[in-house]
Amino acid sequence: MANALSQQTQIGDALSQKNRMRLGRLFIYGPLAVMAVLYLMPLWVMVVTSLKPLDEIYGGSFIGPPQTVTLDAWRAAWSEACIGTECTGLKPYFVNSLLMVIPAVVLSTGIGAINGYILTKWRFPGANFVFGLLLFGCFLPYQAILIPMARTLGLLGLAGSIPGLVFVHVAYGICFTTLFFRNFFVSLPDELTKAAMVDGAGFFRIFWSVILPTSIPIIVVSCIWQFTQIWNDFLFGVSFTSGGNSPITVALNNIVNVTTGRKQYNVDMAAAMIAAIPTLLVYIIAGRYFVRGLTAGAVKG
Amino acid sequence: MNAAKSFSSRLAGWLPRIVVAPSLLVVIVTVYLFILWTGVISFTSSKFVPVYDFVGLEQFVRLWATPRWHTAVANLFIFSALFLLLSTGIGLLMAILLDQNIRSEGFLRAVYLYPMALSFIVTGTAWKWIMNPGLGIQKVVNDLGWTGFTFDWITDPNMAIYTVVIAGVWQSSGFAMAIFLAGLRGIDNSVIKAAQIEGASLPLIYRQIIIPMLRPAMLSVIVLLSYIAIKSFDLVLALTNGGPGSATELPSTFMFSATFRRNQMGVGAASAIMMLMTVAAIIIPYLYSELRERNNG
User: Where along chain A do its domains lie?
Assistant: 2-76, 91-294
Q: Which chain B residue's Cα is nearest to A41? A: B130
Do residue B217 and residue A299 have CB atoms under 8 angstroms apart?
yes
Q: Are B105 and B98 in contact (CB under 8 A)?
A: yes
Q: Are B287 and A136 in contact (CB under 8 A)?
A: yes
The answer for residues whose C-beta is within 8 angstroms of residue A192's C-beta and 6 or more apart is A210, A214
Q: Are A23 and A12 in contact (CB under 8 A)?
A: yes
Mean pLDDT across A190-206: 87
Alpha-carbon gap: A53 to the closest alpha carbon of chain B (Å)? 15
Report the CATH number of the A91-294 domain: 1.10.3720.10
Alpha-carbon gap: B158 to the closest alpha carbon of chain A (Å)? 22
User: Which 8-state DSSP code applies to residue B48?
Assistant: S
Bigger pLDDT: B91 or A57? B91
Crossing angle of helices A216-232 and A91-121, rounded to 10°:
140
Q: Given CB atoms, is B227 within the 8 Å cutoff of chain A?
A: yes
pLDDT value at position A233? 93
Q: Given CB atoms, is A267 within the 8 Å cutoff of chain B?
A: no
Do residue B178 and residue A42 have CB atoms under 8 angstroms apart?
no
Which of B87, B129, B227 to mutate against chain A (most A CBs within 10 Å)? B129
The answer for residues whose C-beta is within 8 angstroms of residue A214's C-beta and 6 or more apart is A188, A192
pLDDT value at position A301? 39
Domains of chain B in sequence order: 67-296 (1.10.3720.10)
Share of chain A above pLDDT 70, in %: 90
**pTM for the full predicted model:** 0.88
pLDDT value at position B59? 94
Q: Residues 112..141 of A with a Cβ closer than 8 Å to B: which?
A: 114-115, 118-119, 122, 124, 128, 130-141
Mean pLDDT across B214-218: 85
- B contacts of A287 (beta carbons < 8 Å): 110, 113-114, 117
Which of B104, B118, B287 to mutate against chain A (most A CBs within 10 Å)? B118
- Dihedral sign from CA coordinates of B232, B95, A33, A26: negative
**pLDDT band for position B27 (50/70/90)?**
very high
Which of A47, A143, A285 to mutate against chain B (most B CBs within 10 Å)? A143
Per residue in A74-84, pLDDT (tens digit) is 999 999 888 87
Q: Which residue type is seen at B185?
A: R
**pLDDT band for position B14 (50/70/90)?**
confident
Q: Given CB atoms, is A36 within the 8 Å cutoff of chain B?
A: yes
What DSSP string runs through chain A?
-HHHHHHHHHGGGGS-HHHHHHHHHHHHHHHHHHHHHHHHHHHHHHHHHHHS-HHHHHHS-SSSPPSS---HHHHHHHHT--BTTB---SHHHHHHHHHHHHHHHHHHHHHHHHHHHHHHHS--TTHHHHHHHHHHHHH--GGGGHHHHHHHHHHTT-TTSHHHHHHHHHHHHHHHHHHHHHHHHHTS-HHHHHHHHHTT--HHHHIIIIIHHHTHHHHHHHHHHHHHHHHH--HHHHHH--GGG--HHHHHHHHHT--SSS--HHHHHHHHHHHHHHHHHHHHHHHHHHHHHHHHHHHH-
Q: Given CB atoms, is B141 within the 8 Å cutoff of chain A?
A: no
Count how many Cα atoms sit within 13 Å of the Cα of residue A24 in the half-sphere of its side chain: 13
Q: Mean of the per-residue pLDDT values for chain B?
A: 88
Q: Residues 161..180 of B with a Cβ closer than 8 Å to A: which?
A: 170, 174, 178-179
Dmax (CA) of chain B: 94
Give the rounded distance of the alpha carbon of A122 from its chain centre: 31
Option in B50, B117, B136 nearest A151 (CB): B50
pLDDT value at position A15? 55
Alpha-carbon gap: B135 to the closest alpha carbon of chain A (Å)? 7
Size of interface A-B (CB pairs under 8 A): 275
CA atoms of A279 and B87, how far apart (whole Å)? 22
- B contacts of A279 (beta carbons < 8 Å): 117-119
CA atoms of A272 and A46, how far apart (whole Å)? 8
CA atoms of A265 and A212, how far apart (whole Å)? 47
pLDDT value at position A294? 61
Mean pLDDT across B207-218: 86
Q: Mean of the per-residue pLDDT values for chain A?
A: 86
- Picking from B283, B81, B172, B22, the residue whose alpha carbon sits closest to that of residue A138 is B283
Range list of β-strands (E), chain B: none
**pLDDT band for position A171 (50/70/90)?**
very high
Evaluate if residue B76 carries a pLDDT over 90: yes
Do residue B170 and residue A39 have CB atoms under 8 angstroms apart?
yes
Count how many Cα atoms sit within 13 Å of the Cα of residue B55 in the half-sphere of its side chain: 19
CA atoms of B257 and A37, how far apart (whole Å)? 37
CA atoms of A291 and A282, how far apart (whole Å)? 12
Q: Residues 173..202 of A with a Cβ closer than 8 Å to B: which?
A: 174-175, 178, 202
Option in A36, A42, A142 nearest B127 (CB): A42
Evaluate if residue A9 carries a pLDDT over 80: no
- Picking from A174, A211, A53, A204, the residue whose alpha carbon sits closest to that of residue B28 is A174
Option in A136, A144, A152 nearest B272 (CB): A144
Which of A45, A232, A299, A300 to mutate against chain B (most B CBs within 10 Å)? A299
Evaluate if residue A1 carries a pLDDT over 50: no
pLDDT value at position A7? 52
- A contacts of B20 (beta carbons < 8 Å): 114-115, 118-119, 130
Evaluate if residue A4 carries a pLDDT over 60: no
Per residue in A130-143, pLDDT (tens digit) is 888 998 888 899 99
Do residue A272 and residue B139 have CB atoms under 8 angstroms apart?
no
Return the number of other C-beta atoms located less than 10 Å from residue A97's C-beta.
26
Mean pLDDT across A152-165: 92
- B contacts of A136 (beta carbons < 8 Å): 31, 283-284, 287
ipTM score here?
Answer: 0.88
CA atoms of A247 and A233, how far apart (whole Å)? 8
B67 exposure class (CB count in 10 Å sphere: 0-12, 13-18, 19+): exposed
Option in A111, A148, A284 nearest B38 (CB): A148
Bigger pLDDT: B82 or B245? B82
Mean pLDDT across B76-92: 95
Return the number of other C-beta atoms located less than 10 Å from residue B231's C-beta.
20
Alpha-carbon gap: B45 to the closest alpha carbon of chain A (Å)? 14
Helix (H/G/I), strand (E/B), else coil: B198:
coil
CA atoms of A42 and B126, how far apart (whole Å)? 6
Task: Label residue B267 left, alpha or beta by phi (over 0 means left) and psi (-120 to 50 means alpha).
Answer: alpha
Share of chain B above pLDDT 90, in %: 42
- Picking from A90, A121, A111, A86, the residue whose alpha carbon sits closest to that of residue A166 is A111
Which of B30, B218, B224 to mutate against chain A (most A CBs within 10 Å)? B30
Give the rounded distance of the alpha carbon of B256 from its chain centre: 17
pLDDT value at position A298? 47
Q: Are B288 and A179 in contact (CB under 8 A)?
A: no
Evaluate if residue B257 carries a pLDDT over 60: yes
Which of B8, B15, B18, B23 to mutate against chain A (most A CBs within 10 Å)? B23
- A contacts of B258 (beta carbons < 8 Å): none
Per residue in A12-23, pLDDT (tens digit) is 455 566 676 777
C-alpha separations of A299 from A190, B80, B180, B213 in Å: 22, 22, 9, 12
Option in B33, B183, B265 nearest A147 (CB): B265
The answer for residues whose C-beta is within 8 angstroms of residue A114's C-beta and 6 or more apart is A207, B19, B20
CA atoms of A177 and A172, how far apart (whole Å)? 9
Range list of β-strands (E), B28-111: none
Do residue B238 and residue A291 have CB atoms under 8 angstroms apart?
no
Do residue A148 and residue B140 have CB atoms under 8 angstroms apart?
no
- Candidate ranges A163-172, A203-212, A238-247; pick with highest mean pLDDT: A163-172
Q: Are B267 and B62 in contact (CB under 8 A)?
A: yes
Per residue in A255-296, pLDDT (tens digit) is 888 767 778 889 999 999 999 999 999 988 887 777 676 655
Q: Which chain B residue's Cα is nearest to A249? A: B121
